[in-house]
Structure 1
């Protein structure tokens, strides 16, 4: 199944167009490799998705073509959620 479709059906990301944009920005990895929206997802794959200042890592448990809202969470298991620290820009003092 395509990555963008899995993200929509599983409701990790609500809209397929948004899932495609996030993937095309290089913010999703499958098993540690940066992935595009058209990448193939299989059961057992590990996805890492960067949402702003947070990274969610999930394991794909099953693939379904469609699912009800209450059953969507059974398609994956959240392994971890990490907050990214904001990186402060370094300022160069030109007055020396």
Structure 2
């Protein structure tokens, strides 16, 4: 295909799952591969396979749990390094940062599911449950 380039070369490329792992979005490369296979990662707005190569300037939309990161690839790394190096591999967009902080605030003020439930159901609760389950 193409010649191998050093990581900071403008034409450098690497597999998307390897880059996600090196940029520390996932603890294990298999987690990155599973996320790409599951459609949780989009390259320039398109779902891709884990073997697809990324290069500097590509846009990635990464969904991890409830958070969606939109990042621009700035550099390529073949190996996983310290967090300080990993943070230099990408730049998160301002819209992504704002969207994630707004979602974090909404989750903080939302009631946790089941917060109103305390212990075992009462006799009254059991009767209501039976009404729904016994026909």
Relative to the length of structure 1, the TM-score reads 0.79
> How far 1:12 moved relative to its partner?
1.7
Q: 1:44-95: CA deviations, max 9, x gaps?
A: 0000011122211010000022253121110001111434x9xxxxxxxxxx
Matches within 5 A, 1:18-29: 18-29=31-42
Give the whole-Å Cα distance in 2 for the aligned partners of 1:30 and 1:68: 23
**Structure of greater relative contact order (alpha carbons < 8 Å, 6+ residues apart):** 1
Query: After alignment, is 33-42 or 64-73 more displaced?
Result: 64-73
Does 1:12 pair with 2:25?
yes
Task: Supply the RMSD in Å over aligned alpha carbons.
Answer: 1.6
Structure 2, unmatched stretches of 5+, are: 1-13, 107-135
Q: Which has the larger radius of gyration?
A: 2
Alignment correspondent of 2:89: 75
The alignment partner of 2:54 has SS state of coil
Among candidates 26, 37, 57, match of residue 44 of structure 1: 57
The change in CA–CA distance for 1:27 and 1:67 in structure 2 (over 3 A counts) is: closer
Task: Give the strand-richer structure, 1 or 2.
Answer: 1
Does 1:59 pair with 2:56?
no
Relative to the length of structure 2, the TM-score reads 0.58
Structure 1, unmatched stretches of 5+, are: 86-96
Q: Which runs of 4+ in 1 moved over 2 A?
A: none
